[in-house]
Every structure is written in C-alpha cells, then in structure tokens.
Amino acid sequence: MRKLRADVVVVGGGSTGVGVVRDAAMRGYKAILVDRADLAQGTSGRFHGLLHSGGRYVVSDPESATECAEENAIVTRIQPHAVETTGGLFVVTPHDDPAFGDQFLAGALKAKVPAREIDPALALAREPRLNPGILRAFEVEDGTVDGWQLVWSAAASAQAYGAEILSYHEVVAVERTGEAVTGVRCLNRKTGEDVTIECGFVLNCAGPWAGRIANAAGCQPVDVVPGRGIMVAMAHRLVNTVVNRCIYPADGDILVPIHTVCVIGTTDHPTTDPDHLEIPREEVQQMLDAGEELIPGFRDARAVHAWAGARPLIKDKHVAATDTRHMSRGMSVIDHRERDGLSGLLTIGGGKLTTYRLMAEHIVNAMEEQLGVSHPCRTADEICPGNVPGKTYLITDRLHEREEDRLSDQIICECELMSRSMFIDLLEKFPQASFDDLRRQLRVGMGPCQGGFCSSRIAGLTFEEGAVDIERATGLLRLFLENRWIGLWPILSGDQVRQAALDDWIIQGILDVDHLPHPAKEEI
C-alpha cells in the first residue's frame, strides 16, 4: 500500500482533468491527477477533432459560441502544436434552407464569432470536391485539434509546476470523515497496488463516468446522460478545410480534416454505460450518406476506422433526457457542499474540448471560493511545454521530418510516417505502456493499413529494446490488433476489406499470432 498526500486530487485525465490539474498547480496547489487508464483515452481521445470557431452554436447556443471563439484563440496560442488552423466553411447544400444562412450570420455577429459570406464559387475553388450545388457559403475560423497532443502538453505544463500525473490509477473510493472529503483510494492497475492519497479537495473530472465518482463519495446520484456519438475516418483528406452544413445542429453535419484523415460525424444517442459504446452499422451508413451530401462520391472513398465517444452531459432540467444534443453544452459545476452536504468535492460536466481551459478555470475558481482564497488564473497566458510560439501543426510536418532524416532513420509505421527513433524515445519514457498508449502519442497503426504492417514491427522493437519479454510482446500485439478491430469491422467494405484480408494473411497466416505463447491474463 502506497500513501501520498496532496492539496488537491483531480480525478480523470481527459482534457478537463489535465486543464484542471494544470490550473491548480499554476495557482500553487500541490496537485495529483489520477486516471484509471492512460491520459486522453476517454472522450478526449474519441471525439471529432474540431477546434470550434463557435460557428456551430451561433443559433442553438450563443453563449457556448462566444466561449468557443475566445477559447479557440487561446488554445491556438498556448498549444499551437496540437492545433491546425484549417479554417472552416459553413455550406448550404441543395437540400438545406438558404434562409438559415441569414440566421447564421446574425447569430455569429451577436455571439462575436467571426464569419463572412463568400461566393460559393470561391468555396469550390478552395475545396474542389465540395458539392457543386451549394447555394451559399460562409467562412469561419474553425481549426482542428489533436486531443492527445493537447492533453499531453497540458499535463507536461502541470508537471512543470510540480503536479503529479498518475495514469492507470483507478479511483475506487472517495474517503470522507463526516462532512468533508479526506482523500481517495486508488488501485494501480498495472501493479495491483493500493494507493491512497490524502487530500483536502477532490475535483471530479471523470467525464461520462463522473456520476460514479460522485456515487463513490456517497453523494446523491449525479445524472450524467452520456450522449453517444460515432465518427468515421476516411483514408485521406477529401477536404483541407473543416466543412459544416449550414443547418441547425444535426447528425453528420461536420467533416473535419485532421492529420492525414478526414472525419465525418457525428450522431447522438443517449446511453447508459460509457464503457460500452456501440458503433451500429446503420449509423455508419447514416454518416456515409451525410458525407455524400457534402462531398459527392464520398461513399466511394475509403473508410479506415470508426469510433464512438460519449458526451459527458450533466442533466439539465430544462430539456428532456432523451434529447441530449439540445441540452446546454455549457459547462456545469456541481458543488456537493450545497447539494449533498459534503465539502471538498466538486464535479464538472458538459463543455467541449475546445473550452477545456475555461472549464478548468471555473472549477478551480469554485474550489478557491469554498476554500475562501483567491489566486489569479494564468493558464491563458503561458504556452505549454513542447510548443513553439505560433508554430501550429501542418499536415506536411511529418513528411518534412522524414525528408530530413530519411537517410539516417527507419520508418516503422509507413502510413503515419512514424520513425524508429520516435518510437524508441517514447518507449524509453513509458516502458510499461501498451501499444495503444504509444499509438495515441505517435499515431502508429492509425493509417490505412491499421497496423497490418507496423504492429509486428513495434512488437519486435519493444522486445529488442528489452522493455518486455516475448510473452508480453505477443500479448501487447494481440491486444493492439483486437482494439484496432473494434473500429474496423463496422466500416469494412471496399478497399478496406482488401486491406483487412492482406493484414490477416500477414498476422495470422505468416505470423500465426493467435497461437504464439502469450500471458494467461489479459495485458494492460
């Protein structure tokens, strides 16, 4: 049993949690963040990748729109490496009401979201694959954001201010003496060790799982209604600008070019268990149809992967629980002292990845209010480690890097252009990582071949580097392939079937991975 002590424990290592631990650490608190798995493998790693300009909400939720516009600029400034400033378009397709465009423009003006109508011909010249029948087009400042890069660089910033980040630490209980929180009890899932952290404050940032943490503290049930949404990534970018349908927010109305892929999404269905989010085939078809509206021929392009995430929406009494899209996305902070008579616990819900920094500011302010102290929030002022001021991500970055080191380094993941040294360097930092943990930071296995070629290479490298024995290497490889498969089978058709067949010949036919010696228990 390990014992730690902190001023604040932050539960959940998604965008909200790392934003909170960074803010708390910057205000001088001794803070520890725990996540039951790796950072950003929850919603913050299963979202759409849009750094909202606010345009999406100018009509439905103007307050959120304004916040998005402001936070977009801040995130782009403090974490440029995670952001690509693609720009965005709102287009009125032949099936949409052109009059909505007027509402859109008026809303944008009011919400202070920069937007400007342009000639549809100009939009087509910029994005030649767009539906040539578009009736109107508006330019906005949408960008795209890599949730993993964003989370890791915010975590690095927190660590630089003395925070501790404990991944694979699952909170099993929130300790209290009567009316006050005294700490949390965690299970280290890699080692099986119990870890208790004594603290005066717990900030519950467990996203769609936040209700469970509140339960663990013995509070009245917090009604989190996870809104499940699916997204489908296409093998290459069909557009280089974010393309939104200019309609009242609906399913499949946004196409996001992020890294080497473009992602169509999303859907919204209330669900109960955020641990098991299905990717129904009908929804995949619905997304491909939606893509077809924006880009004729979309269905003929190659889909490579699908995933689902759950919006951590906290129930709002003003709307029915079945209509999660139209619940306020505005964040809500629940003060459990007022609600349940328990001091030292706050829960946050709602919000968006784009506004993660603002959410953190709110909850840390609420904590200081309860503590009766006040420090200024400085998270918007300081650039996060690993970022060069003004150097936003470019799609060409990796190609450029490989052009430089092509004669001295080896390429391990050919689709995502990950070099051998990139992999070895990260493995050295995280020798216990699973291949998916490494993937999220390196993008290994995320391209068209979905790990068919690189997965066995990284298994070999991991073994060769002495990080694992042969059984664990095999176990990790199998786990990685199983996880890839979850997002593969729902979209399998056309080119991707041929890929899957070839991958199977390699993985099963040549390597016989299913019958290699591997550990009895499942790898973590």
Partner 1 sequence: MLEVDSYEHNVLARASLDHCVKCTICETQCPVMRVTPLFSGPKYVGPQAERYRHGESVDHSLDYCSSCGTCTLVCPQGVKIAELNSVARAAMKRDHMPLRDQIISRTTLLGTVMTPVAPIANAVLKFKPARIVAEKTVGIHRDAAMPTAQLTTFTSWFKRHTPSTTPTRGKIIFFHGCAGKYFEVDTAVKAVEVLEHIGYEVVVPKQGCCGMPLQSNGIFDAARKSVRTLAGQLQAGPAGVPIVSTAASCAGMIRHEAREIMGVTDDALIEAGSRTYDISEFLLGLADKGELPLDDLKRIDTEVCYHAPCQLKGQGMGTPAVQLLQLIPGVSVVESGATCCGIAGTYGLKKEKFDVGQAVGKPLFDKVKEVNPELAVCDTETCRWQIRNATGAQVVHPIAFIHEAYGLGKATEPKAGSV
Ligand X SMILES: Cc1cc2nc3c(=O)[nH]c(=O)nc-3n(C[C@H](O)[C@H](O)[C@H](O)COP(=O)(O)OP(=O)(O)OC[C@H]3O[C@@H](n4cnc5c(N)ncnc54)[C@H](O)[C@@H]3O)c2cc1C
Binding site for ligand X (CB under 6 A): 11-17, 34-37, 41-44, 47-50, 52, 170-171, 205-209, 213, 229, 266, 309-312, 351-354
Alpha-helical runs (H) found in 62-141: 62-78, 100-111, 120-126
Residue 144 binds what, of ligand X, partner 1, none (CB under 5 to 8 Å, by partner type)? none
**Residue 39 CB, nearest distance to ligand X (Å)?**
7
- DSSP bridge partners of 233: 263, 305
Residue 334 binds what, of partner 1, ligand X, none (CB under 5 to 8 Å, by partner type)? none
In the region spanning residues 378 to 417, those forming contacts with partner 1, defined by CB under 8 A, are 394-396, 398-400, 402-403, 406-407, 411, 414-415, 417
If you compute the radius of gyration of the chain from its CA atoms, what whole number of angstroms results? 23
In the region spanning residues 119 to 148, those forming contacts with partner 1, defined by CB under 8 A, are 125, 128-129
3-state secondary structure 286-319: HHHHHHHHHCCCHHHCCEEEEEEEEEEEECCCCC
In the region spanning residues 287 to 306, those forming contacts with partner 1, defined by CB under 8 A, are 297, 300-302
Residue 49 binds what, of partner 1, ligand X, none (CB under 5 to 8 Å, by partner type)? ligand X
Q: Which is nearer to ligand X, 36 or 81 (CB)?
A: 36
In the region spanning residues 456 to 495, those forming contacts with partner 1, defined by CB under 8 A, are 495
Q: Which is nearer to ligand X, 257 or 351 (CB)?
A: 351
Tokens of 52: 């909202």
In the region spanning residues 421 to 460, those forming contacts with partner 1, defined by CB under 8 A, are 447-449, 452-453
Is residue 213 within 8 A of residue 204, CB to CB? The reply is yes
Residue 353 binds what, of ligand X, partner 1, none (CB under 5 to 8 Å, by partner type)? ligand X
Q: Which amino acid is at 286?
A: Q
# of chain residues touching partner 1 (CB under 8 A): 35
Q: Which amino acid is at 363?
A: I
**Residue 292 CB, nearest distance to partner 1 (Å)?**
15
How is 197-229 classified by DSSP, letter by letter?
EE-SEEEE--GGGHHHHHHHTTPSPP-EEEEEE
Q: Which is nearer to partner 1, 403 or 482 (CB)?
A: 403
**Residue 286 CB, nearest distance to partner 1 (Å)?**
21
Tokens of 202: 């717990």
Tokens of 415: 């689709």
Q: Which is nearer to ligand X, 37 or 304 (CB)?
A: 37
Q: Which is nearer to ligand X, 291 or 452 (CB)?
A: 291
Supply the DSSP symbol for 343: B
Tokens of 340: 């349940």
**Residue 241 CB, nearest distance to partner 1 (Å)?**
10
Q: Which residue is nearest to ligand X (CB)?
A: 14
Tokens of 70: 């402001």
Q: Which is nearer to ligand X, 311 or 478 (CB)?
A: 311
Q: Cα separation of 364 and 359, whole Å?
A: 9
The rounded Cα 157 to chain-centroid distance in angstroms is 18
Q: Which is nearer to ligand X, 352 or 362 (CB)?
A: 352
**Residue 113 CB, nearest distance to partner 1 (Å)?**
25
Residue 44 binds what, of ligand X, partner 1, none (CB under 5 to 8 Å, by partner type)? ligand X
Q: Which is nearer to partner 1, 125 or 250 (CB)?
A: 125
Asked if 498 touches partner 1 (CB under 8 A), the answer is yes
Q: Which is nearer to partner 1, 102 or 414 (CB)?
A: 414
Tokens of 28: 């001088």
Asked if 335 touches partner 1 (CB under 8 A), the answer is no
Q: Cα separation of 139 and 107, whole Å?
A: 14
Asked if 81 touches partner 1 (CB under 8 A), the answer is no
**Residue 262 CB, nearest distance to ligand X (Å)?**
13
**Residue 217 CB, nearest distance to partner 1 (Å)?**
47
Asked if 499 touches partner 1 (CB under 8 A), the answer is yes
Asked if 504 touches partner 1 (CB under 8 A), the answer is no
Residue 351 binds what, of partner 1, ligand X, none (CB under 5 to 8 Å, by partner type)? ligand X
Contacts 24+ apart (CB under 8 A), 371-380: 371/201, 375/27, 375/28, 376/27, 377/23, 377/26, 377/27, 378/26, 378/27, 379/19, 379/22, 379/23, 379/26, 379/78, 380/74, 380/77, 380/78
Angle at 421 between CA 417 and CA 426, to 5 degrees: 100
> b/e string for 418-446 if b means 16 or more Cβ within 10 A?
bbbebbeebbeeeeebbbbbbbbbbbbbb
| Residue among 21, 35, 50, 41 nearest 353 (CA) | 50
Handedness of CA 118, 94, 266, 204 (dihedral sign): positive
Asked if 369 touches partner 1 (CB under 8 A), the answer is no
Residue 300 binds what, of ligand X, partner 1, none (CB under 5 to 8 Å, by partner type)? partner 1
Q: Which amino acid is at 73?
A: A
Q: Helix (H, G, I), strand (E, B), or coil: what is residue 58?
A: coil
**Residue 312 CB, nearest distance to ligand X (Å)?**
5
Q: Which is nearer to partner 1, 54 or 80 (CB)?
A: 80
Residue 495 binds what, of ligand X, partner 1, none (CB under 5 to 8 Å, by partner type)? partner 1
> What are the residues binding partner 1 (CB under 8 A)?
125, 128-129, 235-237, 240, 260, 297, 300-302, 394-396, 398-400, 402-403, 406-407, 411, 414-415, 417, 447-449, 452-453, 495, 498-499, 502
